[in-house]
Chains A and B, each alone.
Chain A
Amino acid sequence: MIEAVGLTKRYGDKTAVYNLSFQVRPGAVTGFLGPNGSGKSTTMRMILGLDNPTAGHVTIGGYPYRRLPNAPRQVGALLDAKAVHGGRSARNHLLSLAQLSGIPARRVDEVLGVVGLQDVAGRRSKGFSLGMGQRLGIAAALLGDPQVLLFDEPVNGLDPEGILWVRNLMKSLAAEGRTVFVSSHLMSEMALTADHLIVIGRGQLLSDMSVKDFISANSADFARVRTPDTEPQLREKLTSALTEAGGQVLPEQDGALRVTGLPLPRISDIAHDSGVRLWELSPHQASLEEAYMRMTQGAVDYRSVADQKAGLQQPLPPGAQPPMPVPGQGQPGWYAPPPPQQGGQPFPAPQGTPGPYGAPAAPGGQPSPNPYAQPAPQGGAPGGPAAEPPAQPAQPPAQPAAAPAAPATAPATNPTKSEDAR
């Protein structure tokens, strides 16, 4: 059991973790998610007593780590795959840790076998690949056969076989009644491994719930509707008809429509009544990854922008688009990450293709679909995103950009979500 209460860490005037409270329970794999730089590793280090919190406290089994009796037998941690002396062999590295923890030396060969490094045990870890380094780090975490295990990005650099192995290892460790706390920025990996999720962004708690709840709360079904490409006016017609019927319609990159708030048969009926032929009407579920990205989009610190090559190329003619990833595959243009061509604009147009139907698509609470972390939304955002966040928790000072994503359980910026909200 790990318990954090009001955990805060500041480095100078930079707040890495702010007022973080959570519990990690035994018998389950708890995923710890957040974008790069959101404070995951800092939190892990505070749990392990390496960094002293500026405020608040964190305990393991009721003790702060540094006062935990037999700490290495209670807690095992993989913090950084390269946190070893490269000049030392894997076996000697683990042997020194075993001696430090009062663990019999034969345990070293056991864990080397568990992680599959027995053949390279005598080699200096400097020559290890990232994946082998991760395995060595996992071996060190398992050395004390501890009740509580912390893993910081354990699957980094592992091959598919290794990822599967780690996934099963986490689950089996939790099944033995241990507390397993795994940080990652890979939602897809966590969706397969974790039972419970703690999501942070900009050092603050965004969500603390089971994976099942997270999925039902954050990922919504939508229907993809495609009208004949040859007749754009049909699409507009259908859009307005669906909107009138209470649905929300978002255009996708390739000309299809993403409809939420209406069941499939109803969409079909409306299309039939308006005399619009359909080329596609298919059900889809937004992936957990999308839900996670939507939740954290306002809290992303390090976001890439398009390589503009400013002034080095001819401006694209209006309407011409650089090639886009296939929509509906987890990165459609209407939420994070922003489509490349929008990167430089302070207030991107909804689709990058502001077609004739783009802007007016959703009158009722339809948010401007790009409430990204640009500072502007505070004042000028349209109804949707600006209306929901008033209940947002205290912001860390001077982080206006986090605003749209702050309401943890109600990602207001999620268009597909609003059907639940009504």
Chain B
Amino acid sequence: MSTPQHPMPQAAPEWQAAPGSPYPTYTSPIPVVRTTLWHAVGSEWTKIRSVRSTMWTLGVFVLLVVGIGLLAGAVVANSSADASNANPLELGFFGLLLGSMCVITLGVLTTASEYGTGMIRTTMVACPNRGRVLAAKAIVFFLVAFVVTLVSASLVAFAHVAMLEGEGALEPTGEEWFKATVGVSLYIALLGLLSLAIGSVIRHSAGAITIMIGAVLAPLVIALFMFSQSLKDVQQALFEYSIPNQLSIFYANSLTDSGPSGWDPLWIMLAVTAAAFAGAVALLQKRDV
């Protein structure tokens, strides 16, 4: 067996065409291409568009965001309550909060379903660079989640502004528009990316989805039952940093007055997702597939 002379062999490694090798060799007529991250991205795009779960989760997501958004808009527009001085964009919050469950599900499924089906072994044999596979999944999923959220959120925002125009509602400023569309879409897509990382760590769809839904809801629920005065600070922090409250900050209708504000939720989510992603990559490199 000939050991390769060069640490960085060319497309066909030395051994394959080693002259004088005692063994026969086979060389494929198909040209060998040096694969990159973009090959993996193309592959992941094929994967994500070719399963029904993607269509289902994103379909339900759009239905929830647009449906609940329009419903809320219609109710407010037709109610006798005075809508003046209200920000019409705030009405998009409820649909998006429910819809985030779908993005979480899709994020988890992007990684964990490969473990459930055994596909991950096929994938990792075709691409032994495990980090590349996870990065490609993250890129494809993030873009899909961002674009779908942006389109749905913008649609709902325009509808709300139009519906409440005659009711004396405020005209949203440019920054309010930007936060309620691009900002919130980035946040939701990052939340999905966090789910993707958790799915890669947990390797079990149902388990990872449960963890993520728990992470979204548990802080609020736990905080509700913290009656004790001594826990007041903890309760306050749980409220303020719970994901629903962070989400509401993009609409400037925070449940609390202190705590994160402005673009803080995005940076918080970015940091958490980056940490989870780093952990997922480290585990992926180390563990057996």
Chain A residues with a Cβ under 8 A of chain B: 1, 3, 23, 25-27, 45, 48-52, 61-63, 65-75, 77, 79-80, 82-89, 92, 95-97, 99-104, 107, 140, 144-147, 176-178
The answer to whether B11 and A69 touch across the interface, beta carbons within 8 angstroms, is yes
Closest to A26 in B: B23
A368 to chain B, nearest CB (A): 42
Closest to B114 in A: A85
Q: Within 8 Å CB of B39, what residues of A?
A: 99-102
For the complex of A and B, 10 pairs with smallest distance between CB atoms: A177-B24, A102-B33, A83-B118, A100-B43, A145-B28, A92-B50, A99-B43, A27-B24, A177-B26, A51-B288
Closest to A25 in B: B23
B75 touches A (CB below 8 Å): no
Q: Which of B12-58 contact A (CB under 8 A)?
A: 12-13, 15-16, 23-30, 32-35, 39-40, 42-44, 46-47, 50-53
Q: Within 8 Å CB of B4, what residues of A?
A: 61-63
The answer to whether A103 and B30 touch across the interface, beta carbons within 8 angstroms, is yes
A178 to B27, CA, bound (A): 9
Q: A71-B128, A92-B46, A177-B25 are in contact. Are A50 and B9 (CB under 8 A)?
A: no
Digit string of B193-205 for contact with A (CB within 8 Å is 1, else 0)?
Answer: 0000000000000
Neighbour of B127 across the interface among A27, A72, A103, CB < 8 A: A72
The answer to whether A49 and B124 touch across the interface, beta carbons within 8 angstroms, is yes
The answer to whether A73 and B32 touch across the interface, beta carbons within 8 angstroms, is yes
Q: Within 8 Å CB of A23, what residues of B?
A: 1
Chain B residues with a Cβ under 8 A of chain A: 1-4, 9-13, 15-16, 23-30, 32-35, 39-40, 42-44, 46-47, 50-53, 113-114, 117-119, 121-130, 133, 286, 288-289
A88 to chain B, nearest CB (A): 5
The answer to whether B15 and A1 touch across the interface, beta carbons within 8 angstroms, is yes
Q: Within 8 Å CB of A176, what residues of B?
A: 26
Q: Within 8 Å CB of A75, what residues of B?
A: 125
The secondary structure that dominates the B interface is: loop
B246 to chain A, nearest CB (A): 33
The answer to whether A87 and B46 touch across the interface, beta carbons within 8 angstroms, is no
Neighbour of B13 across the interface among A25, A51, A61, A100, CB < 8 A: A61
The answer to whether B117 and A82 touch across the interface, beta carbons within 8 angstroms, is yes
Q: Within 8 Å CB of A69, what residues of B?
A: 9-11, 13, 34
Closest to B24 in A: A177
A402 to B79, CA, bound (A): 82
Q: Would you give 29 A-B contacts (Cβ < 8 Å), ordered by A? A: A1-B15, A26-B26, A50-B125, A50-B288, A62-B1, A66-B128, A71-B128, A72-B125, A82-B118, A83-B119, A83-B121, A85-B113, A85-B114, A88-B47, A88-B50, A95-B46, A96-B47, A97-B43, A100-B35, A100-B39, A100-B42, A100-B123, A102-B39, A104-B30, A144-B28, A144-B126, A147-B28, A177-B26, A178-B26
B118 to chain A, nearest CB (A): 4
A89 to B50, CA, bound (A): 8
Closest to A140 in B: B122
Closest to A103 in B: B30
B105 to chain A, nearest CB (A): 14
The answer to whether A51 and B289 touch across the interface, beta carbons within 8 angstroms, is yes
A66 to chain B, nearest CB (A): 4
The answer to whether A85 and B117 touch across the interface, beta carbons within 8 angstroms, is yes
Closest to B28 in A: A145
Neighbour of B53 across the interface among A66, A77, A87, A146, CB < 8 A: A87
Instruction: Given contact pairs A83-B117, A84-B118, A107-B30, enumerate 6 new A-B contacts (beta carbons under 8 Å).
Output: A50-B121, A65-B128, A77-B125, A82-B117, A99-B39, A103-B33
B210 to chain A, nearest CB (A): 21
Q: Within 8 Å CB of A99, what residues of B?
A: 39, 42-43, 46
Q: A25-B23, A103-B30, A146-B28 are in contact. Are A84 and B11 (CB under 8 A)?
A: no
A275 to B35, CA, bound (A): 80
Closest to B119 in A: A85
A3 to B1, CA, bound (A): 9
A72 to B128, CA, bound (A): 9
The answer to whether B43 and A88 touch across the interface, beta carbons within 8 angstroms, is no
A104 to chain B, nearest CB (A): 7
A51 to B34, CA, bound (A): 25
Neighbour of A74 across the interface among B13, B23, B34, B118, CB < 8 A: B13
A147 to B276, CA, bound (A): 38
A88 to B128, CA, bound (A): 22
